[in-house]
Structure 1
Amino acid sequence: MRRQTLSRPTRPAARLAALSLAAACLVGATATTLAAPAGAATSSACSTSGFTVTMPDGTVAPSKGARASTAALPADARIKVRGTYVEFDVAPVTGAVYDYVYTGAANRLSMTPGVRTPVMAAKTLDLGPVLRSDVDVRTDKGDLVLISRGGGAKVKVQAKDCATGGIFQQEVEAARAVTATHTLAPGMHYYVNPYTGKINFGNDTLFRGKDSAQVATKLSQTETTTTWSIAPGGRMGQVLGEDAVELSAGPTVCVSDCQARNRVRGSLPVTDPAFS
């Protein structure tokens, strides 16, 4: 696979000018690419060993699943999810996700082979610490489903341990729209990809990522932070690699039991030369 570095403005002012222009066109519009787990990720890009999940009390969740009460947990309690290619933490009483890292583990499809790369500092929700009923965690080889409930709301986190593809999703069920704030890790920035006209995030290497939304509206964006309003039943995802630069037409409107048919599975044109 031939790859080359993306040519784009490197001065912060130039990046922000381009980003502001694109964001102005996108505010109030529904986001464009569904980020359901797996996406165009191929089996060669994914781990078969699966995630290791450590609960807030320090116990390791068995692969058959675990349930824990969240009633007495502090708001900053974390569930630690560790895979071969990706890792992150989940705060079960708020539904927030922290410290999403692309490990750079050896894989021919890795965008940063051998280089550990922090991607997202946080994906927070404005629910507050209301998910104080219980949290369920299930793993199946390289797949993870984590569901936290309480206060009339539910947050489902789905992930797949892959070096590339649509491998992360954060879904909210609540009686009102929920504001999500995505904050990039140091070294990452949002920018307009000149080959697609869409907003990616990266770090001036071959790394390509993209926020992906369904039934959610972008509210604001800076070089390092984006806020979204997620309608009831909507979801925010994240895609990496080729999935982040596909010329997609947008997702179907789906607010319940969305399945793999809502994904494009790498079937759309790619014009970014990093993946040609």
Structure 2
Amino acid sequence: MVTRYASRFSTTSRVKPLTADHSGRAIGDLGTVMLVALPLLFATGGADAAASAGCEGGGFTVLGRTQNATIPASALGTSFRVQGKYAQFDVDSATLGIRNFTLTGAPNPLDITGGVPTPVFASKLPDHRGLSLTSSLTVEIKETEIEIGRTGRDLSMKIQAKDCATGGIFQMEVEREDGTPTLFTHILAEGANPSLKAFYFDNRNFRNREGDEVPFKDITVIVPARVNFGNDFSRKFVGRDSPQVATRRAEPGCVNQITTRFPGAPATVRHCGGVSRWDVASGGRMGQVMGEDAVEVAPPATECVQNCQAQNRVRGRSTVLGFPFPVDLADRLQPRSPPQPAFGAAQTVATNPQ
């Protein structure tokens, strides 16, 4: 388990509302941050996450290091590669945003790629609104896990990753001294092979069970709606954004009417097919869950922005609903990207955590 350290800045779970200017930069105020979360990174959930076979032989290298290190800022360049057996991604040095997140397709009994290199995200970029990271890069590596972090004036960023074929494999965390949220923009990868083009979809297996009670350990939980991402190449490739103390922005330019189990009562899902944008509280996190864990029904993790411990994660046996393959065109979210907002246009946050 990657060790979490005490937060560098004092934080609060109540922050100011956000709007956005013409560039998408977060400004203004946001009310109480909604918790719309799956389990935290590395939480114990479905069988894939619990099986050590999914991480067999995994381990990361960064800038030639395979052990704990402190790397001077002068040695970082503008970007650097984090390379694992099962996952790889490039990191922007000044922001710790990431680009070109790829599952390598390395052989593994729990592989979800179909054995081919599979692009997942073109980028996951935070908008630090003029702040930048200037310190040395701290690197902590333990077996299949890595944690890297940098600080700057009034700003701290951390990335945690686990080199596994499936499960909770990636997480980004931001802290600001002013306590305001940070806008994260996730853009799914397209790739040269059209069948590997990743897309967001409304999961029909969840939609058809929405509102049902299903067992979780000695309690029951209600099946929610679920947005996942997948592709047209592998029937096992599925993932989802996993927010912790973060709220997805509803996209007024990406309005989808999704059929529900209730005749004449479609659901309106304001989510684009290749982009999602999140207002992340200071101390909050954006995770990435792949495979079976991405299509399980479990209670949310508890709200936590400082000194988070194991009790803030979800553990135990959950109900796995899976996903249809191929995904029906009617359930694929459209358009792929939001239209450019007019100058000064306000952004809203999603009332339905999808």
TM-score (ref. length: structure 2): 0.64
Question: Residues 151-195 of structure 1, C-alpha deviation per residue, up to 9 Å, x if partnerless?
Answer: 211111001011110111101111221000000000101001111
Q: Structure 1 residues 85, 73: closer, same or farther in 2, change over 3 A?
A: closer
1: CA distance between counterparts of 2:246 and 2:58?
33
Q: Does 1:34 align with 2:64?
A: no
Give the one of 202, 209, 214 matched to 1:192.
202
Tell me, in whole angstroms, the C-alpha distance in 2 between the residues paired with 1:31 and 1:72: 38
Unaligned runs of 5+ in 1: 1-27, 55-59
Match of 1:147 in 2: 149
* Corresponding letter in the other structure for 1:263: R
**Offset from partner CA, 1:188-239 (integer Å, 9 cap, x none):** 0100111123000010332110000011011133110000000111000000
Q: Which residue of 2 aligns with 1:201?
A: 229
Give the alignment of 1:1-276 within 5 angstroms. 29-37=34-42, 39-40=44-45, 41=49, 42-54=51-63, 60-63=64-67, 65-70=68-73, 77-127=78-128, 128=130, 130-174=132-176, 175=178, 176-186=180-190, 187-196=197-206, 197-204=225-232, 205-206=234-235, 207-220=237-250, 221-265=271-315, 267-272=317-322
Letter of the structure 1 residue corresponding to residue 121 of structure 2: M
Aligned position for 1:18: none
Question: How many Å apart are 1:32 and its aligned residue?
Answer: 2.6
Aligned to 2:268: none
CA distance in 2, matches of 1:254, 1:136: 23
Alpha-carbon deviations, 1:20-58, whole Å to 9, x = none? xxxxxxxx853231331364422110034411112xxxx
1:71–1:133 Cα contact (<8 Å) kept? no
Q: CA contact under 8 A between 2:58 and 2:86: conserved in structure 1?
A: no
Aligned residues: 240
- What secondary structure sits across from 1:223 in the alignment? coil
**TM-score, normalising length: structure 1:** 0.81
Instruction: Indicate conservation of the 8 Å contact 2:35/2:303, yes or no.
Output: no
Instruction: Give me the CA root mean square deviation.
Output: 2.1
Q: Which has the larger radius of gyration?
A: 2
- Is the 8 Å Cα contact of residues 203 and 323 (structure 2) preserved in structure 1? no
Partners of 2:131 and 2:155 within 8 A in 1: no
* Structure 2 unaligned regions, length at least 5: 1-32, 191-196, 207-224, 251-270, 325-354
Query: Residues 265 and 167 of structure 1: is their aligned pair in 2 closer, same or farther, counting only changes over 3 Å?
Result: farther
